[in-house]
Structure 1
Amino acid sequence: METKIFQADILDAARLIQQGKLVAFPTETVYGLGANALNEEAVKQVYQVKGRPSDNPLIVHVSSFEMVEQYAEDIPILMKPLVEAFWPGPLTLIVKGKKGVFPDCVTGGLATVAFRMPDNQKTLQLISQAGVPLVGPSANTSGKPSPTTAAHVYHDLKGKIAGILDDGATQIGVESTVLDLTSEDNIPMILRPGAVTRNDLEKVVGTVAIDQHLIKENEAPKAPGMKYKHYAPDTPVLIVEGSKEQWKEAISWATNNKKKVGIYVSQEIVDFLGTNDFIAVSFGKNTVENATRFLFAGLRELDGKNVDIIFAQAFPEELLGAAYMNRLKKAANQNFFKS
């Protein structure tokens, strides 16, 4: 199969969606693998192409709140202020779906549906012109680092999907916050942290809980990205936290064990180490925003450098750092470097 790259010809990409084919699309977070969410056969292709477990529900991408109203019922009163505050944007909202609308392969057999309106004009046009909501899991091989450029998608899925709508590199770099609005106590619960933080949400709706539960391989998650190990490159990853001296210890340990080392760090740490005993991918200025935006791209780049181990920089698990560390800890299978 030829995989076409679309730039401005969005109508052509929308026609492929209408024909039941798969088209990857850009968002502000990562690239999604698009298919008509109402077409069971098209959605099943998404699972096959990604190699994704079919018990893992998919996020339904819409171009308006009115589209949600077509497919959801008993919409909680909290949803409207959240939509007004954060849509379009990196927030996915789980609500009760209308029976018989979405196939089980979209919902994972659950009565709930996860909806998101992405903050990308090309993709909003794609959804509108296709006339249907789109599923949109990350457009990559399941479990591997998510794609943040069209080139990443092409690397993973060339010849497996009909097209890729290219809009350059994503701005945030990790998937959306997932907020469950269906709890019995009516307290919204974060199932997956993202760029919309708990603090942001509580300013709009009051108390918000966080699900700290790690889904095991034999459990069915309520939202994507909840598996214990996820976002992982082929190369083992260890997280390095603490002082700059801890980085020296990590590099020394690896080189003493004859391991070729890759590091994902700020330029400040690269400059401090001042050695050629590693291959570095720097995210530049030492901020969690930079670290988050380039995390998946950095892991992908180091994975292609034939290194034996990747060390990645930790950040405090607060605000955006919660989303960054959520992805990094899953990429590392929860493993930290211990001196």
Structure 2
Amino acid sequence: MKTHVWVVDNIVDKRRIYPQIQEAAEWLRAGEVIAFPTETVYGLGADASSTAAVEKIFAAKGRPSDNPLIVHVASMAHVEAVAASIPPVAKTLMERFWPGPLTFVLPKRAGAVSERVTAGLPTVAVRMPDHRLALALIEASGLALAAPSANRSGRPSPTTAAHVLADLNGRIAGVIDGGPTGIGVESTVLDCSGEVPTILRPGGVTKEMLCEVIGYVAEAVGTGNEQEAPKAPGMKYTHYAPKAPLWIAAGPPAFLQKLVDERRAEGKKVGVLTTEENRHLYAADVVLACGTRRELATVAQCLYDTLRQFDETNVDLIYSEAFPEDGIGVAIMNRLHKAAGGRVISE
């Protein structure tokens, strides 16, 4: 299969008809899988109501079958079509944060989406992306689109079309190249199907932002049951991992440098993931800066690209600094823990 690339300027004029978007929308209606940019990462979209189309997502990604997919919509009519009900708390948050990087887990409407989308669960995850190309594509297709990140399962999520092609070229029908994404980490997933709104995955909308609007918000605690299907993406399996093993070094720069020195003395080629402020502190084979500590949003934006850059260096292992778990820092550390497979070394 040859993967077609449509290059489209991110600035979409709603008064114009874009032939690239129209063609991609036709392919989606025909059951194909198309990658497209959102404000978080590139998504891999398919008709959420078609099991045959959704199966192509799983085949392209090599994704575990019990991992649910997020349904991307462009209107409240789409939400009402796939969800059996929308609790008042969810409506309040939709009014405040949509379009945006916030996904809601809601009771699903029977038969509205493929069982492969929901992994057989009684709930459906829905979000409205804050990206003109994404919304234009969804509107042009007339479909609610199941769309996980457009990468091979377990790899760092893609923030450029080049990342998508590096993982999926020849495995999907096409990709809309709308330039780099903005936020860089996936959406926050909020379970609104029960009595208490619960964060299942931290992301671009922080707990503090949610609490400002609705008061108390709970955070999910893992059950430890490997047989249990996760209610949202990114909860169960190792994700976002570079090719070389990654460890989080929980300590000051001197501690991380000590670890580097020990591994290099063993003949290992060692990489360090740090920030612009600290890059001069490390003597390693490869030192890559990922944003700035004074503005953690820049770390989130650069994280996946930086992890992918390590793949080009042939390092044997990577040590990453830890980051403050405040605001967007919670999402950053969540992704790093997943990328490291839970490997943390403390001073």
Matched with 2:288 is 281
SS in 1 for 2:278: helix
Aligned positions, number? 335
Shift of 1:272: 2.1
The amino acid that maps onto 1:173 is G
Matched with 2:145 is 134
Shift of 1:203: 1.2
Shift of 1:228: 4.6
Q: Quote the RMSD (CA, aligned, Å).
A: 1.4
Contact 2:245 2:317 in 1 (8 A): yes
Shift of 1:285: 2.6
Matched with 2:300 is 292
Distance change in 2, residues 1:251/1:295 (3 Å)? same
Matched with 1:91 is 102
Mapped partners of 1:144, 1:7: distance in 2: 24
Contact 2:260 2:270 in 1 (8 A): yes
Matched with 2:209 is 200
Please give the per-residue CA displacement for 1:95-149, whole angstroms capped at 9, x wherever unaligned.
1111111111011001111000001101100000000010110101111111111
Matched with 1:221 is 230
Mapped partners of 1:80, 1:310: distance in 2: 43
Shift of 1:215: 5.7
2:40 to 26, 29, 39: 29
The 5 Å alignment of 1:139-150 reads 139-150=150-161
Mapped partners of 1:338, 1:93: distance in 2: 35
Please give the per-residue CA displacement for 1:60-104, whole angstroms capped at 9, x wherever unaligned.
000012210122122201111111111110000011111111111
SS in 1 for 2:112: coil
SS in 1 for 2:248: strand
Contact 1:215 1:228 in 2 (8 A): no
Match status 1:307 vs 2:315 = yes
SS in 2 for 1:78: helix
Mapped partners of 2:225, 2:321: distance in 1: 25
Q: TM-score, normalised by structure 1?
A: 0.95
The amino acid that maps onto 1:102 is V
Q: Mean alpha-carbon deviation: is it higher for 109-118 or for 211-220?
A: 211-220
Matched with 1:239 is 248
Distance change in 2, residues 1:216/1:301 (3 Å)? farther
Contact 1:190 1:209 in 2 (8 A): yes
5+ residue gaps, structure 2: 9-19
Match status 1:318 vs 2:326 = yes
Mapped partners of 2:212, 2:277: distance in 1: 34
The amino acid that maps onto 1:265 is T
Q: TM-score, normalised by structure 2?
A: 0.93
SS in 1 for 2:77: helix
Matched with 1:268 is 277
Match status 1:337 vs 2:345 = yes
Distance change in 2, residues 1:156/1:131 (3 Å)? same
Shift of 1:214: 6.3
Contact 1:216 1:227 in 2 (8 A): no
Matched with 2:25 is 14
Please give the per-residue CA displacement for 1:197-254, whole angstroms capped at 9, x wherever unaligned.
1111111111100003166643310100001522212210011232221222122122
Matched with 2:4 is 4
1:68 to 60, 79, 91: 79
Distance change in 2, residues 1:173/1:216 (3 Å)? farther
Contact 2:74 2:128 in 1 (8 A): yes
1:257 to 250, 266, 274: 266
Contact 2:151 2:164 in 1 (8 A): yes
Q: Which runs of 4+ in 1 moved over 6 A?
A: none
The amino acid that maps onto 2:313 is K
Shift of 1:167: 1.2
Q: Mean alpha-carbon deviation: is it higher for 248-257 or for 41-50?
A: 248-257
Mapped partners of 1:16, 1:305: distance in 2: 37
Please give the per-residue CA displacement for 1:9-68, whole angstroms capped at 9, x wherever unaligned.
111111110110010010111111010111110001111111111111100000012210
Contact 2:291 2:302 in 1 (8 A): no
Distance change in 2, residues 1:214/1:235 (3 Å)? farther
Matched with 1:106 is 117
Matched with 1:40 is 51
Q: Tell me the percent identity.
A: 47
Matched with 2:136 is 125
Mapped partners of 2:292, 2:190: distance in 1: 30
Distance change in 2, residues 1:200/1:135 (3 Å)? same
Contact 1:88 1:119 in 2 (8 A): yes
The amino acid that maps onto 1:332 is A
Please give the per-residue CA displacement for 1:247-295, whole angstroms capped at 9, x wherever unaligned.
221221221121101111112221122x3x3212212432321221111
Match status 1:167 vs 2:178 = yes
The amino acid that maps onto 1:44 is E
Distance change in 2, residues 1:82/1:162 (3 Å)? same
5+ residue gaps, structure 1: none
